[in-house]
Chains A and B, each alone.
Chain A
């Protein structure tokens, strides 16, 4: 079970949804999983038949030769929450920013102020929808649907300190090799770290001279 941290009466975010665009292949499995998770039947085979249609909140954005999976960042000081005129946007006990669709009037001010352009307007239900951090799954001890669906591990979810430690260790490894390289006796012992370069980026880079879009 994940626990929450309360500091001076206010809920502080303890978790991070970590995104590594260099590992994203643009398969958009996260989008499908998100839509299915936010459907009524929560089953891929029946979700596609529902009305209104379930819509993904996660989005994979192509940027140059990278694919960037995006969700809500669940900001500590959320601009969307500050600007919502009906108070439909609030922070849950766990620190996730969620929209109460019964209070949403569809003014889309949150769409305007979000620094990541995350919320979208659902044409069928005429309210704004956004990533809710899969708060119900969180309460059952599971990771968000998009994280579970990602086949390359481009998305990670966990305690901020643990994930940062993981990332720092990975990023420090090349330094270790560089330091060892300076000492000839160590050079042979420590193998060079291969920083995986996305094969997708290499492929997309090849098209640049003839790209029109």
Chain B
């Protein structure tokens, strides 16, 4: 054994405390190969950390731990022998409701800030102060009309864009009791009536979040139902407010997605090019990186350092954004981010915010890879920070790409291993694209649903979670549903999982039931439609609105359901809540921290249906979940007097 090797083995940093069962952890073969590499090189990944965290605290898992004040931390004994109340007197019901609310607030805040950033950029672009163009004026006019701006087609696009941005920004901080203008404009009338009756129409995006933080402060709101209603209100300010406008404004600035074909999985990285990964959430940054990377100046620089070009690949939601609009190949989803670095072939991973693992600089330290943070609110020790300002977008993007290209010469060939797995993917199914594929209206889809050719529509969304086998639940659920002629649409890390495992190809129609297969072959679409990033879950809401209006029913009557089979983030809690608020049956594949309060669990999984038309259903087994979802759809079809 050479001396260098001995030192490496006993150094604390590169000493793996635990090994991961490589065959079982993921269904993605690229992960298996890279896990072997990681363990050989002594690199700790998210899966190793997860095993080391076991056993996870049962009080936390059940949601009955409260740390909201310094009288704590308090725990409720679920066995009923120890304390039944925290120090302040809060019961398990109050504690669980408060904890859930803070998760909704955090999720809504993440989406809110994302929308705020895009609105500010839209305004700057309209004023000519930032190098962004208004790409889709048709969409701009449609959005302006929905928001109640009079005769937008007669005004200059810049004027209309500025007005839209100002309406959105006002909806963040206005202080009156009137509902948000965005919600009033976009939400279906039937839903608005239900929400007004329940008192959950959102007033302002920031206010609903602040109110949650206030209500969950020690000694404020202790009524679980009252708390949950505020959670619903805040989630509506997200789904029919900030997330929705983020999508719409991104379409205006960068183009409404149309069907596009490319490839997915880590095999999209190339051995002979500079590889840059865009990771995070906001296309305000990633679009500029793609522009810079495809510019003549940077391509020339790449040639000079000996690379045959620059490959940009996406991860997580910003990966979805540039995939939907520009066909940039996605390299992987949430749990795969460290593995992209472990290929040893990435010159730079450029990140903005949300879902970025703080361990990335640690992993990157074993390679030449540079982790570049760009947002003042999202810094990571060990990363390089090149701050992004929309006014200087082009310069900063060029600087970032330059850093990446110059890093190419530091790549160590012996440490490179790009798993040769990539799968064809068709993405870009915005509501507009779907309607166009149908011939201009939703009528053909309504007809197919009515006669049972398409049994129902299920939206699958959400993250990855090491609590369940990586990508297994995502893919299994989708496969079971399409087998039963259910059209599957989805976003986020589910869409990336479906992409990597072949479900977003037209060829995947072979796995679908006969009726759905025929539809796919006729329209030349895959049986699963990629609708975008996590804020693009609002595209699913708009699709539900279109369907409900075409049929003259409310959303709870539609033969649809939603699912987040591997969710982990707080954003997912907000998204799940706004789908339930919109009247959708929502399946969750990982257990939320609510079981410590049977009351709150009952409200979320049973009672809420009476008031909002939707409810939560928790089942980690994707086969059982598929069966239940099909039963729910069957019941809805029966009530519509449609063949079931």
| Least distance between B119 CB and chain A CB atoms (Å) | 39
Question: Would you call B77 and A212 a contact (CB within 8 A)?
Answer: no
Write out the residue numbers on chain A whose beta carbons fall within 8 Å of the beta carbon of B470. Answer: 212
Write out the residue numbers on chain B whose beta carbons fall within 8 Å of the beta carbon of A200. Answer: 58, 61-62, 78
Question: Would you call A206 and B467 a contact (CB within 8 A)?
Answer: no
Kindly report which residue of chain A lies nearest to residue B24, judged by CB atoms. Answer: A212
Q: A152-B77, A153-B82, A209-B621 are in contact. Are A25 and B62 (CB under 8 A)?
A: yes
- Which residue, of B20, B59, B619, has the highest number of chain A Cβ atoms within 10 A? B59
- Encode contact with A along B6-21: 1 for CB under 8 Å, 0 otherwise: 0000000000000011
| Least distance between B72 CB and chain A CB atoms (Å) | 13
Residues of B554-612 whose CB lies within 8 A of A: 589, 591, 595-596
Q: A25-B78, A152-B81 are in contact. Are A211 and B469 (CB under 8 A)?
A: yes
- Encode contact with A along B28-60: 1 for CB under 8 Å, 0 otherwise: 000000000000000000000011001111110
Question: Would you call B62 and A212 a contact (CB within 8 A)?
Answer: no
Q: Is A62 an interface residue, CB under 8 A from the partner?
A: yes
Question: Would you call A27 and B21 a contact (CB within 8 A)?
Answer: no
Q: Is A49 an interface residue, CB under 8 A from the partner?
A: no
Q: Is B408 an interface residue, CB under 8 A from the partner?
A: no
Q: Which of the four size classes fits the interface of chain A?
A: 20 to 34
Q: Is A45 an interface residue, CB under 8 A from the partner?
A: no
Q: Is B620 an interface residue, CB under 8 A from the partner?
A: yes
Kindly report which residue of chain B lies nearest to residue A68, judged by CB atoms. Answer: B55
Q: A62-B55, A200-B62 are in contact. Are A213 and B24 (CB under 8 A)?
A: yes
Q: Is A55 an interface residue, CB under 8 A from the partner?
A: no
- Encode contact with A along B465-481: 1 for CB under 8 Å, 0 otherwise: 00111101100000000
Q: Is A151 an interface residue, CB under 8 A from the partner?
A: yes
| Least distance between B50 CB and chain A CB atoms (Å) | 8
Question: Would you call A203 and B81 a contact (CB within 8 A)?
Answer: no
- Encode contact with A along B504-532: 1 for CB under 8 Å, 0 otherwise: 00000000000000000000000000000
Question: Would you call B591 and A210 a contact (CB within 8 A)?
Answer: no
Write out the residue numbers on chain A whose beta carbons fall within 8 Å of the beta carbon of B83. Answer: 151
Q: How far, in angstroms, from A148 to B84 measured CA to CA in the complex?
A: 18
Write out the residue numbers on chain A whose beta carbons fall within 8 Å of the beta carbon of B54. Answer: 62, 213
Q: Is A91 an interface residue, CB under 8 A from the partner?
A: no
Write out the residue numbers on chain A whose beta carbons fall within 8 Å of the beta carbon of B619. Answer: 206
The residue from A27, A61, A202, A206 contacting B620, defined by CB atoms under 8 A apart:
A206
Q: Is A23 an interface residue, CB under 8 A from the partner?
A: yes
- Encode contact with B along A188-212: 1 for CB under 8 Å, 0 otherwise: 0000000010111011001101111
| Least distance between B453 CB and chain A CB atoms (Å) | 31
Residues of A23-62 whose CB lies within 8 A of B: 23-28, 60-62
Question: Would you call B25 and A210 a contact (CB within 8 A)?
Answer: no
Write out the residue numbers on chain B whose beta carbons fall within 8 Å of the beta carbon of A118. Answer: none
Question: Would you call B24 and A60 a contact (CB within 8 A)?
Answer: no
Question: Would you call B21 and A28 a contact (CB within 8 A)?
Answer: no
The residue from B56, B59, B81, B595 contacting A153, defined by CB atoms under 8 A apart:
B81
Write out the residue numbers on chain A whose beta carbons fall within 8 Å of the beta carbon of B4. Answer: none
Kindly report which residue of chain A lies nearest to residue B589, judged by CB atoms. Answer: A210
Question: Would you call A209 and B620 a contact (CB within 8 A)?
Answer: yes
The residue from A28, A209, A213 contacting B57, defined by CB atoms under 8 A apart:
A28
Kindly report which residue of chain A lies nearest to residue B566, judged by CB atoms. Answer: A210
Question: Would you call B467 and A207 a contact (CB within 8 A)?
Answer: yes
Question: Would you call B58 and A26 a contact (CB within 8 A)?
Answer: yes
Q: How far, in angstroms, from A60 to B623 measured CA to CA in the complex?
A: 32
Q: Is B618 an interface residue, CB under 8 A from the partner?
A: yes
Q: How far, in angstroms, from A213 to B51 measured CA to CA in the complex?
A: 8
Question: Would you call B25 and A212 a contact (CB within 8 A)?
Answer: yes
Q: How far, in angstroms, from A151 to B624 measured CA to CA in the complex?
A: 35
Kindly report which residue of chain A lies nearest to residue B58, judged by CB atoms. Answer: A25
Q: Is B80 an interface residue, CB under 8 A from the partner?
A: yes
Q: Is A74 an interface residue, CB under 8 A from the partner?
A: no
Q: A207-B467, A211-B468 are in contact. Are A27 and B79 (CB under 8 A)?
A: no
Question: Would you call B79 and A196 a contact (CB within 8 A)?
Answer: yes
| Least distance between B542 CB and chain A CB atoms (Å) | 32
Q: Is B622 an interface residue, CB under 8 A from the partner?
A: yes
Write out the residue numbers on chain B whose beta carbons fall within 8 Å of the beta carbon of A61. Answer: 55
| Least distance between B287 CB and chain A CB atoms (Å) | 36
Q: How far, in angstroms, from A3 to B467 measured CA to CA in the complex?
A: 48
Write out the residue numbers on chain A whose beta carbons fall within 8 Å of the beta carbon of B114. Answer: none
Question: Would you call A26 and B24 a contact (CB within 8 A)?
Answer: no
Write out the residue numbers on chain B whose beta carbons fall within 8 Å of the beta carbon of A210. Answer: 467-469, 472-473, 589, 620-622
Question: Would you call A151 and B75 a contact (CB within 8 A)?
Answer: yes
| Least distance between B577 CB and chain A CB atoms (Å) | 21
| Least distance between A65 CB and chain B CB atoms (Å) | 10
Q: Is A67 an interface residue, CB under 8 A from the partner?
A: yes
- Encode contact with A along B55-73: 1 for CB under 8 Å, 0 otherwise: 1111101100000000000
| Least distance between B248 CB and chain A CB atoms (Å) | 36
| Least distance between A69 CB and chain B CB atoms (Å) | 10
Q: How far, in angstroms, from A121 to B623 measured CA to CA in the complex?
A: 45
Question: Would you call A206 and B82 a contact (CB within 8 A)?
Answer: no
Residues of A147-181 whose CB lies within 8 A of B: 151-153
The residue from B57, B469, B473, B624 contacting A25, defined by CB atoms under 8 A apart:
B57
Question: Would you call A27 and B25 a contact (CB within 8 A)?
Answer: no
Q: How far, in angstroms, from A32 to B622 measured CA to CA in the complex?
A: 37
Q: How far, in angstroms, from A156 to B25 measured CA to CA in the complex?
A: 38
Write out the residue numbers on chain A whose beta carbons fall within 8 Å of the beta carbon of B62. Answer: 25, 199-200, 203
| Least distance between A202 CB and chain B CB atoms (Å) | 8
Write out the residue numbers on chain B whose beta carbons fall within 8 Å of the beta carbon of A206. Answer: 591, 618-621
- Which residue, of A152, A196, A210, has the highest number of chain B Cβ atoms within 10 A? A210
Residues of B83-126 whose CB lies within 8 A of A: 83
Q: How far, in angstroms, from A200 to B26 measured CA to CA in the complex?
A: 25
Q: How far, in angstroms, from A26 to B624 measured CA to CA in the complex?
A: 28
Question: Would you call B59 and A25 a contact (CB within 8 A)?
Answer: yes
Write out the residue numbers on chain B whose beta carbons fall within 8 Å of the beta carbon of A62. Answer: 54-55
Q: How far, in angstroms, from A62 to B618 measured CA to CA in the complex?
A: 23
| Least distance between A7 CB and chain B CB atoms (Å) | 35
Question: Would you call A151 and B56 a contact (CB within 8 A)?
Answer: no
Write out the residue numbers on chain A whose beta carbons fall within 8 Å of the beta carbon of B55. Answer: 26, 28, 60-62, 67
Write out the residue numbers on chain A whose beta carbons fall within 8 Å of the beta carbon of B21. Answer: 212-213
Question: Would you call B77 and A151 a contact (CB within 8 A)?
Answer: yes
Write out the residue numbers on chain B whose beta carbons fall within 8 Å of the beta carbon of A202. Answer: 595
Q: How far, in angstroms, from A153 to B468 measured CA to CA in the complex?
A: 30
Q: How far, in angstroms, from A24 to B58 measured CA to CA in the complex?
A: 8
Q: How far, in angstroms, from A211 to B467 measured CA to CA in the complex?
A: 7
**Can you give 23 A-B contacts (C-beta < 8 A)?**
A26-B57, A60-B55, A62-B55, A151-B83, A153-B79, A200-B58, A200-B62, A200-B78, A202-B595, A203-B595, A206-B591, A206-B620, A206-B621, A207-B591, A209-B620, A209-B621, A210-B469, A210-B589, A211-B468, A211-B469, A212-B24, A213-B24, A213-B54
A interface residues, Cβ below 8 angstroms from B:
23-28, 60-62, 67, 151-153, 196, 198-200, 202-203, 206-207, 209-213
With A25-B78, A151-B75, A213-B24 known, 9 other A-B pairs at CB within 8 A are A26-B57, A27-B75, A62-B54, A151-B59, A196-B79, A200-B61, A206-B618, A209-B622, A212-B24
B interface residues, Cβ below 8 angstroms from A:
20-21, 24-26, 50-51, 54-59, 61-62, 75, 77-83, 467-470, 472-473, 589, 591, 595-596, 618-624
